Amino acid sequence: MTSKIIANGIVRAVLILAGIALVLLFIFQIRAAIAYVIIALVLSLVGNPIVRFLKHRLKFKDTLAAITTLALFFLIIIGFVLMFVPLLISQGENLSLLNTAQMEADYSALSIKIADYLGLHDFDLKQLFEKSGINSKAGINLLSGFLNSCVNTLSSVGVGIASVFFITFFLLKDKKKFNTVFKWILPDAHEDKILASLDKTNHLLSRYFIGIMLQLFIVFLLYLIVLLIFGVQNAFIIAFLCGLLNIIPYIGPLIGTCLAVVLTMIGNLGGDFVSETLPTTLYVMIGFFVVQLIDNNFSQPIIFSNSVKSHPLEIFLIILIGGYLFGIVGMIFAVPAYTVLKVAGKEFLPENKIVQLLTKDI
């Protein structure tokens, strides 16, 4: 091997790495646009059943069906903003979620009450924190930062909504045109299989995302009922934040319950810790546990198993693997990604015994 060949190889490798870096930089720079496209794709998957109903049952044209579907989405969003966002912001202020300093003060006051109570039972909370190396101030800053981000995002929900709706409109209206263009660039040998995979994937993911929205709403409603029954202050925002965390499989409900416990105790700082705060918090924990039993045994099996035609154990393992590989994001997108792979496997590897076993219900 000559030095010229080696030099050419090094130059080629450097150029490839530089090209990859430029592509990654470009993707980073347009990350907002990519987020808009992803949201629009999800909305189009949710809206496709509505468009099909309007076109086939009511004989709407493509444009009118897409406009009507988007109008329905818009009315739902406007109704949410008018009814809930002011309440969320108001209760967020009451709970000091928008004020890091005040929340830290509330947390410190709560820590003192807990330490005093445990001290009566010969349990040194301060010594435990010191031994474990947990920095309570860093923890509350992280918590308040997360809550502040959630509430601020809700208050500025209008940012980018026009772009998302514009993209969604054309995804709904010109679906046939996109399919035609897509067919044109596909290799003829695999065209039918790829189009069949896309059609099945679109159907399954539409069911999945609609089911997820329904599940989050049911969990939020049950959380709200539990908090209202036990007279927890600012119940709406606590239920909303805990319900929103439920989108993270398995870990989300646990984080939500811990969050509800902390916010319930902070909301009851004015009462007696032993006779009021502790019993109320215990009742809320039990209530949230019951909600999770209902969700795990009814809502999740219906959504995960029936919508994407997968066994609950299969789903659990896929989410676990997604979490190990890509963290929280991997857990959230594990089921949709796995569904795409299953459908593709059924079309391209129909004779494989493992594929047959995994895709027998698709």
The proportion of the chain whose per-residue pLDDT surpasses 70, expressed as a percent, equals: 73
DSSP class per residue in 253-295: HHHHHHHHHHHHHHHTTTS-IIIIIHHHHHHHHHHHHHHHHHI
Give the residue-averaged pLDDT of 312-338: 85
Question: Is the residue at 199 inside a domain?
Answer: yes
Q: How far apart are CA 169 and CA 43, in angstroms?
A: 10
Quick one: pLDDT at residue 346? 83
Task: Report how many domains make up the chain.
Answer: 1
How is residue 186 written in tokens?
């596909």
Quote the mean pLDDT of the chain: 77
Question: Is the residue at 159 inside a domain?
Answer: no
- Burial annotation 223-261 (CB, 10 A radius, 16+ → b, else e): bbebbeebebbbbbbbbbbbbbbbebbeebbeebbebbb
Question: Is the residue at 124 inside a domain?
Answer: no
With 60 as the cut, is the pLDDT of residue 243 above it? yes
Give the residue-averaged pLDDT of 243-256: 85
Give the residue-averaged pLDDT of 246-269: 83
List pLDDT tens digits, range 163-220. Answer: 888 888 888 888 777 767 666 776 766 667 777 777 788 888 888 888 888 888 889 9
Of residues 196, 296, 221, the one with CA closest to residue 254: 296
List pLDDT tens digits, range 103-153. Answer: 666 667 777 777 666 666 555 555 555 555 444 454 555 555 555 555 555
Question: Is the residue at 283 inside a domain?
Answer: yes
With 90 as the cut, is the pLDDT of residue 73 above it? no
Question: Is the residue at 209 inside a domain?
Answer: yes
Question: Is the residue at 28 inside a domain?
Answer: no
The phi-psi region of residue 232 (left if phi > 0; otherwise alpha if psi is between -120 and 50; otherwise beta) is beta
Range of the domain at 271: 187-362
Tokens 């596909």 -> residue: 186
How is residue 349 written in tokens?
């590897």
